[in-house]
């Protein structure tokens, strides 16, 4: 309550451009939001989109932003992951969830599930940024989310500087389903933060589809370009 009052009097500065926030703005300013490089704009020409859709394993693939080195999405991700601003990830998820409903009002997701970090990595960072993104998405979609259905059993090294084939091999079999009954016959939206080849997201989806009869859609906060 007191915090709300303070936020009303002193909305603070935008986490992306450092300009003062106006009343009604929260964490980031509207100008920055309007500058986001949207993934939706070149959907049908995108390699990752075509790869997922043409595999016929998934109900759909959704991504909010395009990720370029030194671009606004990189700054956003940096704030979320390393500057201890996971609530910013939740806000982005919420905006994205509302937009997904705007594009496809008939979309019915039963459960939003974030790709898990290994518990040691999560402990080190303090949180999994994808959990917050998933929570915001679920709120925007008007559905539930859960971070306890899947486990990452291998704390694998970073995927940077690996070829597509090496990435696929690096993440094969590193996820397992914890509670099958919670996923059975559901339409699950499996979400990750940034994807490059989508190998991690696909490995996680494969672990679920191999273990449980269910439908899966995929989502990412951003796709690297």
The footprint of Zn ion (CB under 5 A) covers 14, 16-17, 29, 32
- DSSP reduced 3-state for 74: helix
Quote the least distance from Cβ 34 to Zn ion, whole Å.
Answer: 10
Residue (32 or 111) nearer to Zn ion, CB? 32
Residue (16 or 204) nearer to Zn ion, CB? 16
Quote the least distance from Cβ 191 to Zn ion, whole Å.
Answer: 25
Residue (32 or 109) nearer to Zn ion, CB? 32
Quote the least distance from Cβ 134 to Zn ion, whole Å.
Answer: 24
Handedness of CA 64, 118, 210, 113 (dihedral sign): negative
Q: Taking Cα atoms as reference points, which of 138, 119, 134 lies closest to residue 176?
A: 119
Residue (36 or 175) nearer to Zn ion, CB? 36
Nearest-angstrom CA–CA distance, 102 and 85: 27
* Sheet strands (E) in the chain: 61-67, 111-114, 144-145, 150-152, 175-177, 187-195, 215-224
Nearest-angstrom CA–CA distance, 172 and 200: 8
Quote the least distance from Cβ 72 to Zn ion, whole Å.
Answer: 9
Q: Taking Cα atoms as reference points, which of 23, 24, 33, 27 lies closest to residue 14?
A: 27
Residue (35 or 213) nearer to Zn ion, CB? 35
Nearest-angstrom CA–CA distance, 83 and 133: 15
Quote the least distance from Cβ 164 to Zn ion, whole Å.
Answer: 35
Quote the least distance from Cβ 18 to Zn ion, whole Å.
Answer: 7
- DSSP reduced 3-state for 194: strand
Residue (8 or 17) nearer to Zn ion, CB? 17
Residue (20 or 173) nearer to Zn ion, CB? 20
Quote the least distance from Cβ 58 to Zn ion, whole Å.
Answer: 34
Any idea of the CA torsion for 187, 177, 81, 156, to the nearest 10 degrees?
Answer: -140
Are the C-beta atoms of 132 and 93 separated by less than 8 Å? yes
């Amino acid at each position: 309550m007191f915090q709300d009052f303070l936020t009303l009097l002193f909305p603070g500065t935008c986490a992306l451009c450092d300009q003062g926030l106006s009343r009604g703005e929260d964490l980031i300013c509207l100008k920055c939001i309007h500058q986001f490089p949207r993934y939706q704009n070149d959907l049908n020409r995108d390699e990752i989109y075509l790869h997922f859709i043409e595999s016929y394993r998934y109900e759909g693939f959704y991504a909010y932003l395009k990720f370029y080195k030194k671009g606004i999405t990189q700054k956003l991700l940096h704030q979320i992951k390393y500057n201890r601003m996971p609530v910013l990830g939740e806000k982005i998820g919420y905006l994205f969830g509302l937009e997904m409903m705007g594009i496809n009002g008939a979309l019915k997701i039963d459960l939003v599930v974030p790709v898990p970090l290994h518990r040691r990595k999560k402990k080190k960072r303090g949180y999994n940024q994808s959990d917050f993104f998933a929570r915001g998405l679920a709120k925007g979609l008007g559905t539930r989310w859960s971070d306890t259905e899947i486990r990452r059993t291998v704390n694998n090294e970073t995927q940077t500087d690996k070829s597509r084939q090496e990435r696929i091999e690096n993440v094969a079999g590193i996820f397992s389903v914890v509670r099958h009954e919670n996923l059975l016959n559901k339409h699950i939206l499996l979400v990750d933060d940034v994807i490059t080849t989508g190998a991690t997201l696909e490995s996680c989806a494969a672990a679920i589809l191999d273990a449980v009869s269910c439908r899966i859609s995929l989502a990412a906060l951003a796709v690297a370009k």
